[in-house]
Chain A
């Protein structure tokens, strides 16, 4: 256990030796002799944006889905592709579109149901791996992952925060509170590891407190941090009595305590805070609120990795603002293409407003949060009518701090979805020889997208 204590000491030393977050606006003086913001140590920002229930189906999803028009896939590939109907709310931000991809992961024969798009498509989109077979229970829709989701893989990569720690390694945000089930991945799109879902913050006041209410290294915060030393010490007497599994669970808890303590010890966090937000039941309004807060927090380097669950997998959100009275999951299964189209278009407008706020948050060097960001936008499968995992929708938005070209459509029909993950890891400067697991392994990327 002692190495963990020294690690904390190192972290605290780092935090005290350097400003951990920058005031808004970024002081020009801090950039003296530095040409670019990333050289000031800010680095790229990673975000997963998740929307529910895929796309309005079309023939590309399978013969049974023929009859629906493909309003997603751009008609042309390459730079300056022809923007499709559903992508039009994002056009101003020139997202990269990757079309045609699908999971390549194996489907174990037992237990039943591991091919279900809600389960397999989701896990591959978030982890490049299949769901874990152990504990998989189709009747109760219980499942977990085999490894952390991308946002956690990136946040925990030692290279990602090597030079410039943020108060939070990652944040998880969510908008809709409708849930198909109130457990597991129906309630969270981020996982720290198997059996460790990280449910999102859905209350804007809580998000506000997390971003702008961090105790600022004063005596009172110092007292709270010091008493945690005794808590950590006290945990050792328990740790020595536990079996392997429980000890790991306790160690994970202690890691969280170190992080809480590190935040209490941070000095000089100043981030111009906006007015406290109010909560809204309207999806677009709430997204707008969260996006504005998040963009400001990212400007201040409060974190550099986040996940944003617009609606949960198999969402039961009722889109009454669109005149749809039935919950979304049921709407998909009822085969109501027009309703699914309208719902998907609204979800794209929500992504659009997030990108708008990111683009509007500009530092004195002229770089926006969107320029620094790589936002991987994906859903759980291709479409929800029959849970097809063909033609899964994938976007890579933003400039990845110079790592990503913009406004390109690449298409690979039947291609391995993990190839998108290799691409985004490399765009973030996290050179990865291979990504994907249990059939999804690949060394390839979409080179056209990498700057």
Chain B
């Protein structure tokens, strides 16, 4: 879904400073709030399962898997709430068959994988391989019974060929529910029988799938085996190591793609006849510039992440520069360059960029309502109810309204008391963007009339989109909203009352850390709440 089509960006990123992990203002919390929210066993997302195959085999031909869904924006919520279908289970079977066929057909690759060239399944090196492979796949050491199961299978299905036997065992391991799902069983908390503490293996799995969208590597598994995750120092060292890896950069990008709803932007459909400028390359560039701003704030500047909504800085290629009407020396079709935007202008943060402005517009007209709704929901985490079922929402010009701007017509329709409540919240922040047409280009008039881009955010009057950026850059509702979104992504579920105390602590820490996103990640995964779960519900006879 989130196609990566911007290899040239690597050139730009390669020039940036090497990662240095930020220093937290407080030591890793030794105590703090925990949540008792129940959360069912989750499966791996398609992205995560592919990362498992990559970790174990290196690059292989792409495989089809059940596609991820994004309830409440996040694939992890989909993976916990929407199960694998029969078709999804079959796709895993076929993917595993195809990948193992590819790897085991090549003598060099299979020997590199297995680490030796066993002549029979009884060769001790074959059993050693399965034990080691099993540990990497299960993300914990195999029990003796499990190890025996896979060596027995390798023997039974070898058909006179040791490689066929090993391939069969590998294919079996990769389909085990221990691998396809992420069981978190924990061990009873000695201090509180209603809680379980995750084992260090389970904690490492949580860490790596959150920070990398990928399974633990050998180094992390070895650290667990050495007991390092049981100490704060050891845990911090591993967290810093994970954050210093390129995979953390990709995983962060994946989080922001979902949080900012870029999947919806990918499906946005401006009318091609009205907007011939909206080419596939412009669409791709709008996506890229959004993620470049994220990358800049999170990794290169390690700055206050609220700059997402307010930064006077953009990364544009030549097509975007022309679209926005700005100078960008050195930009070409494939080279994105940083440009400083005027401090008194109206483009601020991603709210001044094409992706936000386009995905929240209609095919031929802007939508102050959708733009305002996005600001309320994504930036402030306000909940806006949908329109009542029996209300018509059309804004066709009625007789006498032909010469009005869209804003004037919306104002007239808002006279209906059934609409006034919610539209009174959504439209005023959306009006601030009226100088931007449905694909984000500047405009001076709407329907031939001059534009009034004044508006308001939840009662605060604002002159234009630039003023909104200035407000959001220090707004104390922005940080807790981002904490909430990250928490949902990290745990794959909605936050509820049980999570309030944890969220408050994380938000306070985020504030103390100057809204540094990496420090928030670090704080989240070292917080006590990250390694406890409620004790499983009462057992019934199987």
Contacts and interface: CB of A to CB of B under 8 A. Distances in A.
A243 B196 CA distance: 13
Nearest to A172: B87
Contacts of A325: 271, 273-274, 363-364
Interface stretch (A10-18, A220-228, A372-380, A431-439): A220-228
Given A178-B267, A230-B153, A326 B83 contact: no
A183 B78 contact: yes
Nearest to B536: A243
Interface stretch (B29-37, B173-181, B221-229, B307-315): B173-181
Interface string B161-183: 00010001101100111101101
B269 interface: yes
B81 interface: yes
B364 A326 contact: yes
Interface string A171-199: 01000001101111001000010011111
Interface string A196-214: 1111010000100010000
Contacts of A244: 537-540
Contacts of B164: 223
Interface of B: 40-41, 64, 66-67, 69-72, 78, 81-90, 93, 97, 143, 145-146, 149-150, 152-153, 156-157, 159, 164, 168-169, 171-172, 175-178, 180-181, 183, 185, 263, 267, 269, 271, 273-274, 362-364, 383-386, 389-396, 536-540, 542
A239 B87 contact: no
9 contacts: A138-B386, A231-B175, A243-B536, A249-B41, A325-B364, A327-B269, A334-B393, A334-B394, A334-B395
A198 B393 contact: no
A317 to B, nearest CB: 10
A184 to B, nearest CB: 6
Given A139-B386, A199-B85, A246-B40, A182 B69 contact: yes
A250 interface: yes
Interface of A: 1, 64, 112-113, 115-117, 138-142, 172, 178-179, 181-184, 187, 192, 195-199, 201, 206, 210, 219, 223-224, 226-228, 230-231, 233-235, 237-247, 249-250, 252-257, 259-260, 263, 316, 318, 325-327, 330, 333-336, 385-387
B132 to A, nearest CB: 17
A141 B536 CA distance: 30
Q: Which one of A196, A234, A335 has the greatest number of beta carbons of chain B within 10 Å?
A: A234
Nearest to A259: B86
A396 B479 CA distance: 54
Contacts of B83: 195-196, 249, 252-253
Contacts of A139: 383-386
B392 A335 contact: yes
A319 to B, nearest CB: 11
B177 A183 contact: no
A408 B78 CA distance: 43
Contacts of A239: 542
A228 B97 CA distance: 12
Given A235-B176, A256-B88, 11 more contacts: A113-B385, A187-B69, A199-B85, A226-B168, A244-B537, A250-B41, A253-B84, A318-B269, A330-B362, A333-B394, A387-B389
A242 B271 contact: no
A106 to B, nearest CB: 17
A63 B363 CA distance: 30
Contacts of A187: 69
B258 to A, nearest CB: 11
B365 to A, nearest CB: 9
Contacts of B362: 326, 330
Q: Which one of A198, A325, A326, A387 has the greatest number of beta carbons of chain B within 10 Å?
A: A325
Nearest to A177: B267
Judged by DSSP, the binding face of B is: loop
Contacts of A330: 362-363
B233 to A, nearest CB: 31
Contacts of A206: 64
Given A199-B69, A249-B41, A226 B394 contact: no
B86 A260 contact: yes
A253 B394 CA distance: 45
Contacts of A260: 86, 89-90, 93
B85 A231 contact: no
Given A230-B153, A240-B542, A327-B363, A386 B177 contact: no
A238 B142 CA distance: 13
B389 A117 contact: yes
A318 B168 CA distance: 46
Contacts of A259: 86, 89-90
A380 to B, nearest CB: 12
Contacts of B85: 192, 196, 198-199, 256
A242 B93 contact: no
A139 B422 CA distance: 12
Nearest to A144: B81
Contacts of A115: 389
Contact of B149 (A233, A326, A387): A233
Nearest to B384: A139
B93 A224 contact: yes
Contacts of A242: 41, 183, 536
Contacts of B87: 172, 198, 201, 210
A113 B384 CA distance: 13
Nearest to A316: B267
A1 B64 CA distance: 30
Contact of A227 (B72, B157, B386): B157
